[in-house]
């Protein structure tokens, strides 16, 4: 343990000398703050309605009570864009809702209710209906953004491991450590620990800044810990074979491809095609972290997804073991 902490202390000292640790520690905070600024309020983001320019002002005013209303010339084109925008068309006193089909579940029912209430506004109801909560408590951008940042944090942790190893390779100091009583396991744990700490710290920063206070932190810790291994292994495998930091970072960037593919695949692929992402530990991480952030995850799901992540990570490790061992010699 003494030697492990000595290695961690050295890495912190070395990392702070060229601001590396400071940059990597600051990155999640900065990104979370930017995302926080970009996330619209719940009321703004959950219901967006497009109407024609000539829509009666009374209808527009009524809809603006519950939704963000935009006037457009080409309503169909606006609805067909990627975001969640409904079209509302007034046709001979009838109101029609135009949907694209990819809108978030529940929002169309909400809009129907709102419009239905407008149609029946002249009927005296025995009770006064108030819309005080439209059902969506969180912006999709917040959920997906936070999830993406948490998973990217694991890659940042791997990158810290990688850069510290590249420093060792560049100065050939691994040989000097290999002629001390330091065990190989102590060196690996010492080199990896800071990467794990950085990942956990980054995730905590994202969760706190974006206001996910009600989530189960223990579930998040287990899931993030599991996915951190893949970042660490990739960091080790590239770090021990690179003696030039720019080339090492360039190699690490390749990892962004499966990360982004897994996350955007999970967001956009139809359910029947999701199975093509099962190979990716990042998909399983995305899947469970999303439910943790939505406070819908169960321990069974957390353990199952973390187990799958660890099995895939173990297979990756078996494939890269020889490369890592040779690099550390």
Partner 1 sequence: MIKVNGLYHSYSNDENYAVKNVEFEISKGEVFGFLGPSGAGKSTTQGVLTGLLPLQKGEVEVVGYNIRHPKREMFNKIGVSFEQSNVYGKLTALENLEFYRKLFDVETMNSMDLLKWVGLDHVANKKAGEFSKGMKHRLTFIRSMLNNPELWFLDEPTTGLDPAIASQIKDIVKEKNKQGATVFLTTHNMYVADELCHRVAFIIDGEIKLIDSPRNLKLQHGEKFVVVEHLENDVIKKEQLSLIIDRDKARLNEIISTGKIEIMHTKEATLEEIFIKVTGRGLK
Residues of this chain that interact with partner 1 (CB under 8 A) are: 2-3, 6, 10, 13-14, 17-18, 167, 171-173, 175-183, 329
- Of residues 16 and 65, the one with the C-beta less far from partner 1: 16
- Of residues 2 and 272, the one with the C-beta less far from partner 1: 2
> What is the Cα–Cα distance from 51 to 67, expressed in whole angstroms?
12
Nearest to 238, CA basis, from 250, 229, 228:
250
> Which residue in the block uniquely carries the two structure tokens 């995850």?
297
Q: How far is the CB of 189 from partner 1 (least distance, A)?
A: 14
Joined together, the tokens standing for residue 138 give: 């969180």
First to last CA, the chain: 21
- Of residues 190 and 265, the one with the C-beta less far from partner 1: 190
> What is the Cα–Cα distance from 80 to 98, expressed in whole angstroms?
10
* Sheet strands side by side (includes 94-98): 68-72, 48-52, 86-91, 94-98
Q: How far is the CB of 153 from partner 1 (least distance, A)?
A: 25
Q: How far is the CB of 294 from partner 1 (least distance, A)?
A: 43
- Of residues 16 and 120, the one with the C-beta less far from partner 1: 16
Other beta carbons within 10 angstroms of residue 14's beta carbon come to 15
- Of residues 11 and 144, the one with the C-beta less far from partner 1: 11
Q: How far is the CB of 20 from partner 1 (least distance, A)?
A: 10
């Amino acid at each position: 343990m003494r030697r492990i902490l000595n290695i961690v202390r050295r890495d912190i000292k070395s990392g702070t000398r060229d601001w590396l640790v400071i940059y990597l520690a600051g990155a999640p905070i900065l990104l979370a703050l930017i995302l926080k600024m970009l996330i619209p309020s719940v009321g703004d983001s959950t219901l967006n309605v497009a109407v024609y320019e000539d829509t009666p002002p009374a209808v527009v005013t009524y809809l603006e009570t519950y939704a963000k209303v935009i006037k457009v010339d080409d309503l169909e084109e606006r609805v067909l864009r990627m975001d969640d925008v409904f079209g509302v068309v007034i046709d001979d006193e009838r109101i029609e809702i135009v949907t694209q089909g990819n809108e978030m579940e529940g929002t169309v029912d909400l809009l129907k209710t709102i419009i239905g209430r407008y149609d029946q506004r002249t009927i005296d109801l025995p009770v006064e209906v108030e819309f005080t909560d439209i059902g969506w408590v969180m912006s999709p951008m917040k959920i997906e953004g936070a999830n993406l940042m948490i998973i990217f944090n694991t890659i940042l942790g791997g990158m810290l491991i990688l850069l510290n190893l590249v420093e060792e390779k560049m100065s050939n100091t691994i040989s000097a450590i290999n002629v001390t009583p330091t065990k190989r396991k102590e060196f690996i744990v010492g080199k990896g620990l800071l990467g794990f700490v950085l990942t956990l710290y980054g995730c905590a920063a994202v969760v706190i800044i974006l206001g996910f206070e009600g989530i189960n932190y223990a579930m998040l810790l287990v899931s993030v810990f599991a996915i951190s291994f893949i970042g660490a292994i990739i960091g080790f495998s590239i770090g021990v074979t690179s003696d030039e930091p720019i080339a090492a970072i360039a190699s690490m960037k390749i990892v962004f491809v499966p990360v982004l593919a897994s996350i955007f695949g999970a967001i956009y692929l139809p359910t029947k095609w999701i199975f093509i992402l099962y190979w990716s530990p990042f998909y399983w991480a995305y899947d469970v972290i999303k439910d943790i952030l939505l406070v819908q995850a169960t321990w069974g799901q957390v353990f199952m997804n973390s187990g799958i992540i660890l099995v895939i990570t173990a297979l990756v490790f078996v494939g890269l073991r020889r490369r890592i061992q040779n690099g550390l010699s």
